[in-house]
Each structure stands twice: as C-alpha cells, then as structure tokens.
Structure 1
Amino acid sequence: MTVLAKITLAAALLLSIAVPFGAFAAGEKTKGRYKTAIGVNVFLFMATIGVAAGLMFTGHAFAAEETAKAVNSAAGWGYLAAALSTGMSCLGGGIAVSAAASAALGAISEDGSILGKSLIFVGLAEGVCLYGLIISFMILGSL
C-alpha cells in the first residue's frame, strides 16, 4: 500500500466522521439538517468503503508478490462475505428487536404476567445476529 493510498484512506475516514456533523453543527436545529448530515455521512462512508475495496481486491494493500496478490484477492472476497453476513444479519436483527421490544414493552405495561413470553420473542430476534456471526466465523475459518 503506497503512502498516497494510506493518506487518502485516512483522510476519507476522517472526513466521513468530521464533515457531516461538524459542518451542520451551527445553526437552527431542524429535522432537515440532521437528514442532510446523515446523507453526507452515508455518502462519504460508502466512498471510503469503495476505496478500501479497491485496495483490497487489487492486492496492493497486503503484498507485492504475484502469488500473494492472487491469494489476497480471493481472501478479500472472503472477508467481504464475512463482513456482509455479520453486518446484514445485525441490521435485520436490530430492526426485528426494535419492533418486538416496543410491542413487548407495550404489552408488559398492560399485563405484567407476560414478561417471560415477550422476552422469548425479543431473544429470537437477537438470535438472527448470532447466526450471521456464526456464518462469518465459518467463512473466516475456511480462508
């Protein structure tokens, strides 16, 4: 990995954090301001991921030898698969937990005797995240 690539990646990571919330911090607190900040943050984060993926799949980020480039390119796909399996399952699990937990809290506030039954549904939603993590460990173990 060249010095220029390291500087570019570090600058993109810092900008993806600093720009959205630093640039929009002053002024009136409106809902549109936060939407703009989140949009800019997502855009810069995806650009950083694109640069990192480009470095990962070209092999320049890990080694200079020809054989190591081929291995690292294949390993890059494995790392991407492991990251996606964990990330997407955690996103889905978070959405499921938010729905199940809010419904469980509403039900418990009306009848406290159903606490155990409602915790089962929240636990099942959290299990989705664990399944994704187990799959990513299996993928990483096969690399």
Structure 2
Amino acid sequence: MTKRIIALAASFLIMGAASLFAQETAGYEAEAQAAETQTVEQTEQAPAQSDSGLSGAIKYIAAAIAVGFACIGGAMAVGKIGAAAMGAMSENAELSGKALPFVGLAEGICLWGFLVALFIIIM
C-alpha cells in the first residue's frame, strides 16, 4: 500500500513539474510572438496582460490531477470487474455478452476525467 502511495505521489510530482515547464514555455512563445508583431506606434501603449503565472500553472496541475485520479480509479475498476467477468465466463460462456459491457462502463471513468481536464484547461 505504501508503494502505491509513493508511486502516486511521484507521478503527481512529475506531472506537476511538466505542467509548470509547459506553462513557462507557452508564456515565452507568446511574448516572442507579441514582440515580433508589435509596431512602433504600439510601443507607447501598455502591453496587454495575458493569463500566465501561477493561475495558469494551477490549471494544468488541476487537469493532471483530474486525469490521474480518473485513470487510476478506472484501472482499479477494470481490474476487479475484468477478473470477475473472466471468472464468470470460464464457468458459463453465455455470460460473455452480459459481462463485457460492465468493463466498458468502468473504462468510461477515464473519459470523464479527460473531459473534466479539458474543461479546466479551456475555461
């Protein structure tokens, strides 16, 4: 159990660091593009503020956590349901059509996590 917790914490640390670096490079690219397209008349105006910094990084970390927890939960559900479905099918082959949709429903948990992460990033 402690190995799972350590592995989970390490994966969140890696995903968090990756999201912070992704946010920093996106900010640099936006600044470079704005500098190239800026004309002489616009230099006197105040530069536009973009959604960068800590709030942008938190969005990526929240999205990574949403997908991570959903995928871990979906994997645990598929493991238990899949094992039970295979056991039931080994005793009665006619149950395969009734057991496999439950495995598909458990995989849908990962899809919901991805959709939540997508909404977090977009909004």
**Which TM-score band applies after superposition, normalised by the shorter structure?**
0.5 to 0.7
Q: Which residue is 2:99 aligned to? A: 118
RMSD: 3.5
Would the alpha carbon gap of residues 47 and 106 (structure 1) be closer, same or farther in structure 2, given more than 3 Å must change? closer
Larger C-alpha radius of gyration, 1 or 2?
A: 2
Q: Which consecutive segments of 4 or more residues in structure 1 shift more than 4 A?
A: 62-65
Q: Aligned-pair distance for 1:109? A: 0.5
SS in 2 for 1:81: helix
Q: Aligned-pair distance for 1:116? A: 1.2
Identical residues among aligned pairs (%) = 35
Q: Which runs of 5+ in 1 are unaligned?
A: 1-37
- Checking the alignment, whether the CA contact within 8 Å between 1:93 and 1:128 is kept in structure 2 is yes
Q: Which runs of 5+ in 2 are unaligned?
A: 32-48
For normalisation by structure 2, the TM-score amounts to: 0.64
Alignment of 1:1-143 (within 5 A): 42=7, 45=10, 49=14, 52=17, 56=20, 61-62=24-25, 63=27, 71-142=52-123
Measure the CA separation in 1 of the matches of 2:60 and 2:93: 45
Relative contact order (C-alpha < 8 Å, sep 6+): which is higher? Answer: 2
- Checking the alignment, whether the CA contact within 8 Å between 1:56 and 1:72 is kept in structure 2 is no
- Checking the alignment, whether the CA contact within 8 Å between 2:12 and 2:65 is kept in structure 1 is no
Aligned residues: 100
- Checking the alignment, whether the CA contact within 8 Å between 1:83 and 1:136 is kept in structure 2 is yes
